[in-house]
Amino acid sequence: MGHDVHIRHVSDGDWSGIVALEASAYTDSALSEERAALESRAHASPATCFVLDFEQQIAGYLLALPYPMFQYPDLSRMEETIFHSRNLHLHDLVIGESFRGRGLAKRLLHHLTVTAGSKMYERISLIAVGGSETFWSANEYKAHHEVALPRSYGADAVYMSKAV
């Protein structure tokens, strides 16, 4: 299946697929965002947001946008400011359940790192949610346990980053 899945930029027709994946990934938590908020993350930085396309079906997505280090989106609000920063914040990554465990997240992350380098970003940050810190550590992100995060990201959220 891996060869039939390709990475491309997000287009307008992708949003119902993205919203469905997002809702199913975060359905048991308070992390799920409104569609308008999700769309605003991608509109802030279309060049660093991607979907995995499998036979015209959205198998996964990754949304990243510039944010100064140690700042991050407010989950309850749309983006109002477009930051100019050498830090790219990986806001969300979801792989559809039936596509997990095949290295597709790793593939999207590699694509993001290459894209970030070509656009002169120096670091990539993220907030690990839902107990995913070990997944991110395995993908070279280092935890900044000293950074306090709002409860909206969940009690176990951890700010992490890596050099590009």
- Contact between 64 and ligand COA per CB under 6 A: no
- To 5 degrees, how large is the angle CA 36–CA 67–CA 37? 5
DSSP conformation class of 147 = S
Which is it for strands 158-163 and 142-143: parallel, antiparallel or unpaired? antiparallel
Q: 42, 49, 104, 158: which one contacts ligand COA (CB under 6 A)?
A: 104
Question: 7 or 84, CB closer to ligand COA?
Answer: 7
Count of other CB atoms within 10 angstroms of residue 110: 13
SS3 54: strand
Stretch that binds ligand COA, among 8-16, 43-51, 76-84, 93-101 (CB under 6 A): 93-101
Q: 27, 84, 134, 148: which one contacts ligand COA (CB under 6 A)?
A: 134
As measured in angstroms, the least distance from the Cβ of 25 to ligand COA is 4
- Contact between 95 and ligand COA per CB under 6 A: yes
The first and second tokens of residue 148, run together, are 């306090």
- Contact between 129 and ligand COA per CB under 6 A: yes
- To 5 degrees, how large is the angle CA 123–CA 89–CA 97? 120
Stretch that binds ligand COA, among 1-9, 40-48, 74-82, 102-110 (CB under 6 A): 102-110
Which is it for strands 49-54 and 87-95: parallel, antiparallel or unpaired? unpaired
- Contact between 135 and ligand COA per CB under 6 A: yes
DSSP conformation class of 163 = E
As measured in angstroms, the least distance from the Cβ of 102 to ligand COA is 5
Tally of helices (H runs) and strands (E runs) in the chain? 4, 7
- Contact between 46 and ligand COA per CB under 6 A: no
Residues near ligand COA (CB under 6 A): 25, 93-95, 100-106, 128-132, 134-135
